[in-house]
Structure 1
Amino acid sequence: LAQAGRGRPWDLRAIERLDSVGALVIWRAWGGVMPSDARLSAEQEAVFRRFAEMETPTAPRRPWGLWARLDALGAHILSVLGDLWGLFLLLGALLTELWRALRHPRHFPWREISATVVRTGPDSLPILSLIGFLIGIVISFQSAPTLASYGANIYIVSIAGLSILREFGPLITAVILAGRTGSAFTAQIGAMRVTEELDALRTFGIPPVQRLILPKVIALAITLPLLVVWTDAVAILGAIIVAKLDLGISASFFLREMPIMVPDFNFWLGIGKGILFGILIAWVSGYHGLKVQPNTDSLSRETTDSVVLTLTLVIVIDAVLAMVFANTGISVG
């Protein structure tokens, strides 16, 4: 069609009806540009002008090479630094709203805290029970052959207790809640941004940080350490079962020796990690929820980024705490 019309003026005035499909075929034959010598009726010209308005320019091809990669790396670094700066700004807003809540407690939505605790706590127990129980089984099952070969069966109590109370309990709980609860927080706040509910809150003089994010931070700071205790308990139960079956360590001996071989500091360290991780999850998810632009693509992208950043920070902070408290709470002998 394009070759047939080459070098000749297009005269479509004799066509009485031109539907959108036929007009699109002609538009593509023109190469997306209406010829200056085309002879059209007013209705036909209006159709092709609408095509011209809807035509999206082709994105320029991204250059390849060293400079292009350095440019992409620099853009990524600037994006990360921007997120860190935004997180610190949100932290300042959270501290300001917390101080305001302590000074004027009647204006703070305390019911939102209890509602968030109920939504995030009991609903997470089944998955935490399953994963915690399996973690306890794996720890004991992997340690049992080596301990049995050295005749050190009783040290299963120390290995399981330290690894569960100190590391796996808070870490597994934080990972599950980051993927489950953190993503839900980001999606909830982001959906309110898409539907302009956040703008409505600001219109009524209600700060979104006070109404939406701070209650979630407080709620997770309460809920997550309690879930850590639950995860510790079911993980130790799994460790006891394997210790009984593989090493002949009775449950009564395990529970009696555990407070002796595992100092209380490890339990409280796990609880402290739970509080810290709970604050971190709500903080990061709230930040990404506020970053959502009023479109669904931004909502899905920020939800994914929220989970990725939260998991990264949880693991980094856990590694830092492991190095800081490396020689604390470890029973020797």
Structure 2
Amino acid sequence: MTGSNAQQPNWERDGQTLRLSGRWTLRRLGGNFAAQEAALRNISPETLWDLTAIEALDSAGALLLWQAWGSQLPEKIRMEDQQHSIFARLAQIQPITPPPLRPWHVLDQLGAFLIETGRDLWGLFLLLGALLLEFGRGLRHPRSFPWREISATIVNTGPNSLPILTLIGFLIGVVISFQSASTLAQYGANIYIVNIAGLSILREFGPLITAIILSGRSGSAFTAQIGGMCVTEELDALRTFGIPPIRRLILPKVIALALVMPLLVLWTDMVGLYGAMLVAKVELGIGTTFFIQQMPVAVPSFNLWLGIAKGAIFGVLIAWIAGFHGLKVKPNTTSLSRETTNSVVMSITLVILIDAILALVFSNTGISN
């Protein structure tokens, strides 16, 4: 063979000798790996493999031959020293075998998850006790109370959260009214848009949306701040100077969110109801004045106070969980990112769980007849 055909990977049998020739490279083998390997795998084990006529042999060609041989050199083979070194490297590569699947593997994972969850609950309980002790100590000694930290946290979590809460609250009110308008119009029950929008926003969506936004925005920031101080050993420095980290870092955040969350809930409620009023006027022809006058009649004030109370509860919960996960951070960046994520996930999960429990407890309360 001459020309480019002479460079193609070929073999020919001469009695008990199989002589390979050409260029056994990735470029020349092309897409014939499976066919070439299947053909070479059927060669008799008594055959002498002669590789001395091969012009070029790269890792792809060597791997093809190696797999055809069953991951071991044939008993009878003739090759160059350079070719022998390539196969020697292949022999050193051990195949990756997946670990055996144990029948109780799922139960092991479930047990580890339950143990870790139990440790977190116990740690949260201990942190709650420490917060109550520090709060009582601060009431007895007002001068030692972290007033500056509380005011700084209120500024950072309150006014700075208003833009995103304004946008989300307004859109929630618009969506609720817009989705309800067509159905109410079909039955001539346009005025009941006040009941639907008022109850859903004041009782559920206002505090819930505010808590979720604050969990992702402020809760993650709290965890990252405290965790970063763990990484840089600032918490150890505070303890060295006799300053309890819980008093200076976690308690101010708990108090600040307990104070600012009800105000943020009120703002979200107001913006959400404004969006609902706009849609009610455009879609159903209900005037703004009638909407405002009908609101106290259709929606008892209990729902407003329930939403405000939810906001205070959620605020304490978010700061409490954020501080706990911040203290869990180990002195490495991987732990910091993991605990920040866990803080947000746990906060949102518990917020939704507590909201569902409160909805069941007060299901027949605050509903106008």
Q: Which residue of 2 aligns with 1:169?
A: 206
Q: How many residues align?
A: 278
Q: 1 CA distance for matches of 2:222 and 2:276?
A: 34
| Percent identity over paired residues | 72
Q: For 1:110, give the aligned amino acid.
A: W
Q: For 1:154, give the aligned amino acid.
A: I
TM-score by length of 2: 0.73
Match among 320, 340, 350 for residue 313 of structure 1? 350
Q: 2 CA distance for matches of 1:66 and 1:314?
A: 36
Structure 2: segments with no counterpart, 5+ residues = 1-88
| 1:144-198 deviation per Cα after TM superposition (whole angstroms, max 9, x unaligned) | 1111111110010011000000000000000000000000000000000000000
> How do 1:172-211 residues align onto structure 2 when only pairs under 5 Å count?
172-211=209-248
Q: Which residue of 2 aligns with 1:271?
A: 308
Structure 1 position 237 matched with structure 2 position 274: yes
Q: Which residue of 2 aligns with 1:286?
A: 323
TM-score by length of 1: 0.81
Shift of 1:79: 0.6
> How do 1:55-204 residues align onto structure 2 when only pairs under 5 Å count?
63-204=100-241
Q: For 2:287, give the aligned amino acid.
A: S
Q: For 1:192, give the aligned amino acid.
A: M
Shift of 1:69: 1.1
Q: Which residue of 1 aligns with 2:14?
A: none
Shift of 1:62: 5.2
Shift of 1:66: 2.9
Match among 204, 210, 214 for residue 251 of structure 2? 214
SS class of match (2:286): coil
| 1:211-268 deviation per Cα after TM superposition (whole angstroms, max 9, x unaligned) | 1000000000011110000000000000000000010000000000101110000000
Structure 1: segments with no counterpart, 5+ residues = 1-27, 32-59
Shift of 1:207: 0.7
Shift of 1:63: 4.4
Q: Which residue of 1 aligns with 2:66?
A: none
Structure 1 position 227 matched with structure 2 position 264: yes
Structure 1 stretch displaced more, 236-245 or 60-69: 60-69
Match among 315, 319, 326 for residue 363 of structure 2? 326
Shift of 1:65: 3.5
| 1:91-135 deviation per Cα after TM superposition (whole angstroms, max 9, x unaligned) | 000000000000111112111000000011111100000000000
Moved over 6 A (4+): none
Q: 2 CA distance for matches of 1:63 and 1:176?
A: 44
Structure 1 position 295 matched with structure 2 position 332: yes
Q: 2 CA distance for matches of 1:83 and 1:125?
A: 32
Q: For 1:258, give the aligned amino acid.
A: M
Determine which structure has greater relative contact order: mean sequence separation of CA pairs < 8 Å that are 6+ residues apart, divided by chain length: 1
| 1:247-301 deviation per Cα after TM superposition (whole angstroms, max 9, x unaligned) | 0000000000101110000000000000000000000000000000000000000
Q: For 1:131, give the aligned amino acid.
A: I
Q: For 2:198, give the aligned amino acid.
A: G
Q: 2 CA distance for matches of 1:199 and 1:110?
A: 22
Counterparts in 2 of 1:245 and 1:293: CA distance versus 1, 3 Å: same
Larger radius of gyration: 2
Shift of 1:64: 1.9
Q: 1 CA distance for matches of 2:199 and 2:103?
A: 48
SS class of match (1:126): helix
Give 1 or 2: higher strand fraction: 2
SS class of match (1:66): coil
Q: Which residue of 1 aligns with 2:6?
A: none
Q: 1 CA distance for matches of 2:212 and 2:362?
A: 21
